[in-house]
Structure 1
Amino acid sequence: MAAADIALAPAPLTLDRVPLFGAFARALLGTHGVLALVAVALLLILWAGAVVAFGLPGLYLPAVVAAPLMVAMLVLISRG
């Protein structure tokens, strides 16, 4: 029996093997202590993908939506 005759079973596809979300999944599982950094990087990657897919509206619409959310967050923080 030659080494080429042995068939290797494919590795199961888990969330940590997906290239874009793999680091985020590993951070959620606790193997890395950089969850906030990975979350910010993932949001920037998604935002860049929106710019590539939709052009200029993909650049400014997430910022337009985020502005009222930040104002609401500041109001909630200031209320105690």
Structure 2
Amino acid sequence: MALDVNPPALPLWQRLFFRIPVLGWVARDLLFGDKNNVWFALIGFVSLWMSAALTFGLPGLYLPALALVPVIFVVLLLITWG
């Protein structure tokens, strides 16, 4: 039995973001799907990161961490602003 769940009317930027093939599908599933999907997405992210480390060695481990520095910086700013 399938449930037809129509999401509420979304702003234009969210509709455009959800149309991105892989990233948008995961984001839509996280917002409107089961609450356990957060853990599945986290496990997928860590698995991709470790696969990059196994494939490319230390650069595959360090470069994604280096790319996440601005994200963590923004998170720290949001935490300090309340």
* TM-score for both structures, normalised by structure 2: 0.52
CA distance, structure 2, for counterparts of residue 48 and residue 58 of structure 1 = 8
5+ residue gaps, structure 2: 1-21
Inter-partner Cα distance in structure 2 for 1:76 and 1:48: 28
Summarize deviations over 1:24-73 as a string: whole Å, max 9, x none: 97xx273x431111111010111012112211100111112212321221
Q: Paired residue for 1:61, among 38, 60, 63?
A: 63
RMSD: 2.5
Structure number with the higher helix fraction is 2
Specify the code of the residue in structure 1 equivalent to 2:80.
S
Structure 1, unpaired ranges of 5+: 1-20
Count of residue pairs brought into register by the alignment: 55
Correspondence for 2:38: 36
Question: Which consecutive aligned stretches of 4+ in structure 1 deviate over 6 angstroms post-superposition?
Answer: none
Provide the TM-score with structure 1 as the length reference: 0.53
Look at both structures and tell me which one has the larger radius of gyration over its CA atoms: 1
Instruction: Map 1:1-80 to 2 at 5 A.
Output: 28=29, 30=33, 32-80=34-82
